[in-house]
Structure 1
Amino acid sequence: MTFRLRVIGVLVFVAVAATAATAWLTWRQATGAVERTVTAGREETARITDRLREYGYAHGTWERVPAVVDELSRETGQRIRVIAAGDDLVADSDVLAGRAPRPGSGQPPVLVDPLPRLRMPAEGAPAGWLKPTVVAIRDYRATAVYAACLTRAGAVVTARPDGSGIPLVSTDLRPADCRRDVPKGRPPQADLLAVRRCEDESRERAPACLQRAFRERTRGVTPPRLEVHLGVRDESPPALAAAPTVGVAAGVALAVALAALLLSRAVLRPVRALTVATRSLGEGDLARRVPVTGRDEIAELGRAFNRMAGSIQGAEERQRRLTGDIAHELRTPLANLRGYVEALQDGYVEPTPELLDSLHEEVMLQQRIVDDLQDLALAEAGALTYHRVDVDLRELLETCRTAHHARAEAATGPPQTHD
């Protein structure tokens, strides 16, 4: 398989991986969108229930709440069905919109309780909370009746909590038949008995006990709790659009294919140059190099080739210098041997035992040089075997002195005598 095909194959694999990654990323984004949709649905649910709770808290009744339900349905796009305790239908956004009621979604309803949450003092014992609770029961009865009367009269009612959590009602109208009558004098005995049941409770359990007493004693005037049903059956969930995913995948595949063509052209040019240079190096042209630009893998390959060619050329030059040095080192001692042998043949030098021993030592020295060359060749080939032996340094020095004695005398001349 050619290098171009291998590169294209790798890039096709990359394209498939990129496409899969793009699809996965798109799926994750779509999942995130669905999650955000669910979060938005929860926020809408909280918005609807909070609005209904605020209405019951301020008005003391669920009369005229269908208008609020219709407004919330238009704002959120939700089908809202509100049922009071005892399965009494309070409002249905489908009926309010003039269409037939659709089946509900089957999801559990959301409970809306308009009853105020009592605020207990931050300090003091639970026994000190009993009187404020009795006062809160009295005030809420009067406020709830007053707010319901205002609502029936068509007034705009708003409320804010006081220090105990009881609503303080404000209105734009003050009908003559709507007055906030707060009973004077001693609280009813039933209120006192309901609250005193919490007298012995701990600080942690007393608030819940007093809240139950508050609910029990205001049951007649408190709007009933609501069950809010949202959505319709078989409502289609948000669909994941496949077109963006397909478009992104096709774009990535096309981009990778174009990149494969450009990359193959950019890679093959230096590869061809390396091929020509390698062929020339094999034919003996050790000075051949390849031009290198950039810092990618191909450029690093070219630099490695140039370093290799330089190393081969340097080794060739070192081998030539080594051959010349060896010839020089062997020529001088061989010339000495030749001179002594010719002098012996011509009778100019007597063959004394010392001279013969010296010549023998010189021959052995040349033999050792040759052996050293052989050891060097074995070492370069990685086949050298080492043998450790003991050497007498005195004998080695004496051998060297004897071998070079004649040359030393020839260089310094005969010894001079002094009278």
Structure 2
Amino acid sequence: MSRPVPWRRSLVVRLLGTSILIVILSVATTAWLAAQTATRAVQKERAQSLAGDSLIYDRLLGFAAGHPGWDTVGPDVRRLAAETGRTIAITTADGDLIASSDPAAPLPGRPSAVLDPLGGASGPIDPRAVGPYRLGERDRAAQRELVRQRLECLRSQGVEATAQEVPSGRLVVRMAERTPRLRRDCLFREDAPFPAEQRALAKLRGPVVQCLKNRHLPDIVLFPVDFTWQYAGANVYGNVQDIQDCVDNARRAQLRPYVARPARLFLSSPAEPPAPPFDLSRASTLRIAGAAGFVLLVAVAAALLVGLRLVRPLRALTAAADEAAHRPAPVTIARADEIGRLANALNDLAQRSERSEQQRRTMVDDIAHELRNPLTNVRNWLTAGQDGLADLDQDMVRLLLEETGLLQHIVDDLSDLADADAGTLALDRAEHSAADLLATVVEAYPSVHLRAEGELPVLVDPVRFRQIIANLLTNAIRHTPPGGRIDVWARTAGPDVVIEVSDTGEGISAADLPHVFDRFWRADRARARATGGSGLGLSIARKLAQAHGGDLTAASTAGVGSTFTVRLPASL
């Protein structure tokens, strides 16, 4: 009977202690994270978000697109700094200060962005950089009247349309439908260029045409509203990107006098006094402590409940194991968790123990039976000789030697099986021809027919190999009546050499076939060694085949015959 488990080693105590430790760590970590998060929130309360930085960049880029220089940008910089809480500074490409919201503040190590409305050498041109294409008041009023007439025309036909102003001062009509069905034309040429635009477009066209000629590109037609283009002639095509580069480069050269030169933008947070350390009030402290205590209490109760539920089936398993005198007794625990699996494993162990015990008793009985007959014969002949009832002549000596040989054969067989079970069976393996080895064995059995397909090289112990085949042939001859046939067929099947020993004997029933390799098993329990063998030959043959990395299987039909198949790895 096992002793009680000490309380410090109890599963319930360990589970409870682990749960309490986890809860304490969780609560402490949560409180620490909450304090750190709140502290960071206080310290960064006045930090500007990415949206604010984008606002600064967009407004200053718009200023550069609408002014030929940075001379008057100071008020805008100070206003943006007040709105966003950021320190703003603008310098030239050489580092000379243009404007700053705090001239005494040092510049950051790297600029936040470059302010260039023309997009540098290959970037996009800011649409607010319009230069000579900005409409005057008179042209703007005339264009708006044309847009109003077009909107009225479209809406009178049920077409939804709106007017959107672009940086040049024009209004562009946007329709909900791309190609609406109109009963009458509503163009009114509100997108036609005015004289000022025509003059600017004529100046732009010169550099564009020259660039197209230099690159051997076809001529194009430019539209001043959005500077889109189309080919001037029909069925004429060119590299679209090269044409667009010519247009963009010409526009940059034309717009350069109307926009501010490129500048660098520096953004930083103003220096502030350190924020006061985060401190919890008494009420907040009490709330956190109360919540932690409640969580701890719930965790303790849950741990106790789970622990007791875990220990109860374990105690039942322990009691079942303690009550068994020689082997574990089955126990019924209907659970689908690890403990249920443990109970099933214990039940399986009990069943295997019962089968092993039964096999052990059977094997002991069989060994005693096998040894009893030769020992009895030896004792009887020796007793008769001692009493003068028989002469110890050569015939008696021969009989005694035969019985002693039977005993030695049984002991050798049992020794081979013990070595095979323990994995200590000695094998002197080398490459041999299975066909040659089979021919050597079959020579001792004239009635056996051998068919080998090739040399069939295998890595085997030749003595053990011949023992396997000899055991199979002996078994086949024993169970094949006169006039029957025994065949040995050897061949290659994939990576294995397959050897089949077939007979036309009495065969084995389907009920007995699973036990054919059991030790001391005989289909007819009434048969003696002289007619049924010791019952170890097939067991030894299979163990030897498995020791070589192969296997031995059997197939049989009662009244028809049996086939034993040996598979051994071929030698490559």
Alignment TM class, shorter chain as reference:
0.3 to 0.5
Which has the larger helix fraction? Answer: 1
- TM (norm. structure 2) is 0.37
Q: Which has the higher contact order (CA 8 A, sep 6+)?
A: 1
- TM (norm. structure 1) is 0.47
